[in-house]
Amino acid sequence: MRVPTSERALAYVILIALAALVLIPVLFGSITAFKPQIIWVSSPPTWIFEPTLENFEFVFIQRKGWQYLRNSLIISSGSVIIALLLGVPAAYAFARFRFRGSKALMQWLISLRMIPPIVVGLPFYAMFLFLERGLNIGLRDTYPGLIITYQTFLLPLVIWMMRGYFVELPAAMEESAMVEGYTRLGALLRVVLPVVWPGIVATAILNFIFAWNEFFLALILSGNRTSTLPMSAGTYIVRTRVEWGNLFAVNLIIMVPVIVLTIILRRQLVKGLTFGILE
Amino acid sequence: MTATGATGRADQSFSTRLYRATQRYKHWFFIAPALLIILTVVIYPIIFSTGVSFFRVTFASQSRPFVGLQNFERMLTNDDFIESTFNTLYYVVFSVSGSFALGFGVALLIRRITVGKDLLRLILIIPITMAPIVVGLMWNWMLDPLFGLINWFLDLVNIPEQTFLAQAATARMTVVLVDIWQWYPLVFLIIEAGMATLPRAPYESARLEGVSSWMIFRRITLPLLRPVILVALLLRTVDAFRTFDLVRVMTDGGPALTTETLSLYLYRTAFTFNKLSRAAAGSILMLLVIGLISAVMFRYLFREVGDS
Amino acid sequence: MKRFKTLLLVMLAAALCLPLVGAQDVQLTDPATGARPFEGQELRILNTEVVPILAYQHQIVDPLYEEASGVTLIYENAAHSDVLPRIQTTCAAGGDDFDIMFVEDGWAGALAALGCLEELDRFYLAAPGDSHPEDFTTRAFGTVAMAKEKWVGIPTLVAVGMFAYRTDLFNDPDEQAAFMEAYGRDLAVPQTWGELAEVGAFFTRPDEDLYGFNYRYGTPNNILFDYMIHFGFSRGVDFFDADFNPLFDTEAAIDTASFFAGQDVLNLQPPGRESFQFGEVMQNFTQGKVAMYGTESWAIPLLLDSEASLVAENTGFAPIPGWLNPETGEIQSALLSAGPAYMINAHIPEERKWLAWDYLQLAHGVEFSRILADQTGAGHRISVLTDPDLVAKWPHLTANYEAAKVGIGRPAEPWWPEAENAIGRALQEVAAGGDAASLMADANNDIREIVADAGYYDEGITYVSVQQREEFVCAKLADLGLEHDECM
């Protein structure tokens, strides 16, 4: 696609302005993580100071931030992988097969995401307690317990997003592959998935972010063994004040893994293998 | 019979009848595992809550008498519930349209640039990588009349300090703008990936015929993107309906209920006012409202490329 | 593991035999004798380090307990706003996620009714340890440690209203002279609302980024708290009358609302005050933007910490101003008190309850409280607040004690938060320029409905007044065989 220079210049101006709108508050906040307590907040803002790592030390060591980080990493990646394994085939079926009730089922699926989290907390807690006491299956305050419950909001989303990407593709693609001797599953794995790869990556990233920032279910169903990062962020909004330096130190710990993930996957995100309209 | 076994042999005309049967129901082999999980983890809480909403269950009593529809009646006649419903609709309309327009726009613009594309994409995605409570607090701080950066800038150009979050007139829109700031990257990500998977053939033939780029966008890109647009819109709508953390830390519903959202109000009803079953009834009413809205969106957007 | 189970079984058996064998057979951790009956066990505490004092307890008292007892303390540290949902969910389902939980004064009523707070009498009667429930003022104990007539907790913190001011401003000769010229009297820390408004106006200089004072108007809960703590009670406003009718539409209540949330007083505060919560108000003071600040006793350690406050060296404390009764010429003042206690989860096995009691009696007992107060200035037991050595080191303890004796607790009823919300909303609307009389009257009606809905008028359930709470405390202490000066 050839883009006129004026159009390109305009695109740059708008995008850079937006980037500034993102970067200014984020940087302004993030440098606080390196400020000593007395200048966390000041008027006028303090720009020049001697950076300190005491906030990170407090958050990471005294408040066991690394434990929260480990829990968050395990729970988020675990639940995203499970959601993709279960959700992608289902999404494919919804996109490719017309069967009675398929539309109703899809609509019903997205409505599942609408359940306010407060409604989910107590039933799950009660179920876990029942499983533990009645059947001796311990899920409270465990990784599998949280990974399963996270499917409530991840699985519908995976199915919905992936279905959107599958539907975009012409059905002729797998049909010709199947003529060449692939099974339906083989066609899905070898022919279709490589093409919708950017969609899978986008789905994975977004679901990771949702799992990463999930808060209410984690609060109710985790304990000191499985508490996640967002829960620890809340502890720096204390009654007396917001502990800005500690809060932004935690926030950096929350942001950096997702950003790293995005960097690793950035090529995949826009790599429309055979059909991309741009490259 | 397993899913792979059935579909694997289908091509070899194993038995015509069995083949037909498996062909007819083959979608279930793909859907069944996901559906099984969904049935256990999603339906159960809904049934539980629906059950709870017909009793008087509170966090302040061990007795749980059956009260029929009383909880629903109390919710529907409650001014705060009605007001927070309207607040929520306001959030949904402005936050969804705002984040969708911005996200879609960015997805279109970013294809037009070359140098620094990866870097810009990375920067623009930062807001969704942050925890909502941190985003809310960060903007509270930015907007603080005495210590915030915005008022510091205004001060430099001699504009008196503005108290956006303290005034009923501006608080709601301020929260909506912050919500847009955080969530437009989600639309951007979904749409951009959608564009990357578009088939190339229609574009090539259109270009050969000399169709203008605006017409290409309207006649090819938009229709092809429709399923992905539906996903982005639905997702934003549903999430905007559930806006909770951001409002809780920014205004906590104030000043005087002007920014209270439904999920904040239901949370308060359950955990602060102790009335669990009333909140459950409210949640079910909320589900009905969102269901209605998404049904409308379905009607207009759930038509695929192949449909006519 | 097996040994652990056997140990538990033995302890369970021992615990079951307790009522038979009598008090002297229960052993608690005792640093003096070196007794460590719970050595090697783990105790799970649901906590929130919402104010520095609670963090100090974690840093100072808990290691001392671990060392003395050989018990390992496992903390689940949640944000303050998340603690209650966590407890409610666990309790409603009968969960045993934690042995000890942090419970704010307003929550105990509902949680006790839900059946998840263990009564402490039998533990005390069997082995009192260092717990000394008589070492608190009756007002504080009734508010923080009791659920109606039941004793359920050991206070970890008693918060009372305090007033912080900038000593450098009040002692500045130039300011004093300017004030004398403007108002014809000496510049002094205000003792009445009228003086507060005057002194506040004097210090309100937006050009210099300085404002008179600062309160919290940002959430219904906060605005109500300050309205009642600092203004309402001194003016004679009460929550309810003897027949349990809400009193927020009385002339005194409406007057108070128009004053406290009125534009004259709001204009003496920094811009944005309508949305200020704890954090902003504290921040404005510690950054030197306000001359006076209505606060609570738990903020004192932070206000005196020069790493947290630019004006730490210049911060003084005084009682909150009162209301000058025009008829009697007296200054009436009243304070509200509040605070959390540690309580034992009723759904844990019996032997764990004894371990939990062991922690409460020692870690939050007299001796350890003294150590905590000595190091941090945080104290809430009478023995600490009146100790001459500690008072010499931390002068604010005396003001704390006086306040703890008269502090009035919020109703600890399950419906109270909803009522609080209704009245707080009305006050916020007054602050936004609404008409106080009609808004307060509407809120009063709402509260009547909320209370009726909770079954209080027709089901014969009664509301516990402040006086009744004190009677409950005295009766409880008498049951336990204890005497208290305030109960005479």
B146 close contact with C: CB closer than 8 A: yes
Percent of chain B exceeding pLDDT 70 equals: 89
When scoring A1, A201, A277, A278 by the number of chain B Cβ atoms within 10 A, the one with the most, hence best to mutate, is A277
Residue C458 lies in a domain: no
pTM over 0.90: no
pLDDT of C408 above 90:
no
The total number of structural domains in chain C stands at 2
C40 and C145 share one domain: yes
* Across A23-42, average pLDDT: 89
- Cβ–Cβ gap A43/C80 under 8 Å: no
In chain B, the N- to C-terminal Cα span, in Å, equals 37
User: Going by C-beta distance under 8 Å and a sequence separation of 6 or more, which residues neighbour residue A5?
Assistant: none
- Cβ–Cβ gap A242/C75 under 8 Å: no
- Cβ–Cβ gap C80/A238 under 8 Å: yes
Which of C330, C351, C375 marks a domain boundary?
A: C330
Higher pLDDT, C426 or A133: C426
Chain B residues in contact with A8 (beta carbon < 8 A): 112-114
C172 and C56 share one domain: no
Measured distance CA(C350)–CA(C118) in Å, rounded: 10
pLDDT of B7 above 50:
no
- Cβ–Cβ gap C307/A126 under 8 Å: no
**Across chain C, what does the average pLDDT equal?**
88
Output the pLDDT for position B155. 84
* Across B177-203, average pLDDT: 87
Task: Report yes or no: C427 and C437 within 8 Å, Cβ to Cβ.
Answer: no
- The boundaries of the domain holding residue C179 are 162-217+261-330
Task: Report yes or no: B265 and B252 within 8 Å, Cβ to Cβ.
Answer: no
- Cβ–Cβ gap B256/C432 under 8 Å: yes
C313 and C355 share one domain: no
- Cβ–Cβ gap B235/A113 under 8 Å: yes
Output the pLDDT for position B306. 44
C308 and C350 share one domain: no
Both structure tokens of C204 = 């309100």
Task: Report the neighbours of B using a cutoff of 3 or more CB pairs below 8 angstroms.
Answer: A, C
When scoring B129, B198, B212 by the number of chain A Cβ atoms within 10 A, the one with the most, hence best to mutate, is B129
* Across C345-358, average pLDDT: 94
A242 close contact with B: CB closer than 8 A: yes
- CA torsion through residues C444, C445, C447, C448, sign: positive
* Across B101-109, average pLDDT: 93
Measured distance CA(C107)–CA(C119) in Å, rounded: 15
Residue C109 lies in a domain: yes
Output the pLDDT for position C205. 94
Strand partners, C341: C103, C155
Both structure tokens of B13 = 């005309």
- Cβ–Cβ gap C110/B163 under 8 Å: no
**Class of the domain covering B70-301:** mainly alpha
Give the residue from chain C lying closest to B62, CA to CA: C114
Output the pLDDT for position B8. 46
Measured distance CA(C72)–CA(C396) in Å, rounded: 34
C82 and C209 share one domain: no
Task: Report yes or no: C440 and C408 within 8 Å, Cβ to Cβ.
Answer: no
C318 and C353 share one domain: no
- Specify the CATH number of the domain A54-270: 1.10.3720.10
- Cβ–Cβ gap B163/C275 under 8 Å: yes
Task: Report yes or no: B187 and B225 within 8 Å, Cβ to Cβ.
Answer: no
Output the pLDDT for position C182. 93
B252 close contact with C: CB closer than 8 A: yes
User: C387: helix, coil or strand?
Assistant: coil
C184 and C151 share one domain: no
Output the pLDDT for position A231. 85
Percent of chain C exceeding pLDDT 90 equals: 49
Q: Least CB-CB distance to B146: which of C81, C209, C418?
A: C209
Condensed to tens digits (0 to 9), the pLDDT of residues C167-181 reads 999 999 999 999 999
In chain A, CATH 1.10.3720.10 sits at 54-270
Q: List alpha helices for chain B, DSSP H.
A: 3-10, 16-38, 44-52, 70-76, 79-110, 117-129, 132-143, 149-156, 168-196, 201-208, 213-216, 222-241, 245-250, 262-267, 276-301
**Across chain A, what does the average pLDDT equal?**
83
pLDDT of C16 above 60:
no
C180 and C113 share one domain: no
C189 and C125 share one domain: no
Q: Which residues between 47 and 76 in chain A have a beta carbon less than 8 angstroms from any beta carbon of chain B? A: none
C274 close contact with B: CB closer than 8 A: yes
Condensed to tens digits (0 to 9), the pLDDT of residues C470-481 reads 899 999 999 999
Q: Which residues between 167 and 206 in chain B have a beta carbon less than 8 angstroms from any beta carbon of chain C? A: 167-168, 171
Chain C residues in contact with B60 (beta carbon < 8 A): 109-111, 113-114, 414
C50 and C153 share one domain: yes
Where residue C90 falls (left for φ over 0; alpha for ψ -120 to 50; beta otherwise) is alpha
Give the residue from chain A lying closest to B149, CA to CA: A45
Higher pLDDT, B305 or C83: C83
* Across C348-367, average pLDDT: 94
Output the pLDDT for position B4. 43
Output the pLDDT for position C27. 87
C200 and C292 share one domain: yes
Percent of chain C exceeding pLDDT 70 equals: 94
Task: Report yes or no: C74 and C44 within 8 Å, Cβ to Cβ.
Answer: yes
Residue C292 lies in a domain: yes
pLDDT confidence tier of residue B10, bands split at 50, 70 and 90: very low
pLDDT confidence tier of residue C105, bands split at 50, 70 and 90: confident
- Cβ–Cβ gap C275/B165 under 8 Å: yes
Output the pLDDT for position C14. 55
A39 close contact with C: CB closer than 8 A: no
Q: Least CB-CB distance to B129: which of A15, A28, A255?
A: A255
Q: Least CB-CB distance to A129: which of C79, C81, C93?
A: C93
Q: How far is C282 from chain B (nearest CA, A)?
A: 13
Q: Which residues between 276 and 315 in chain C have a beta carbon less than 8 angstroms from any beta carbon of chain B? A: 276-277, 280, 283-284, 287, 289
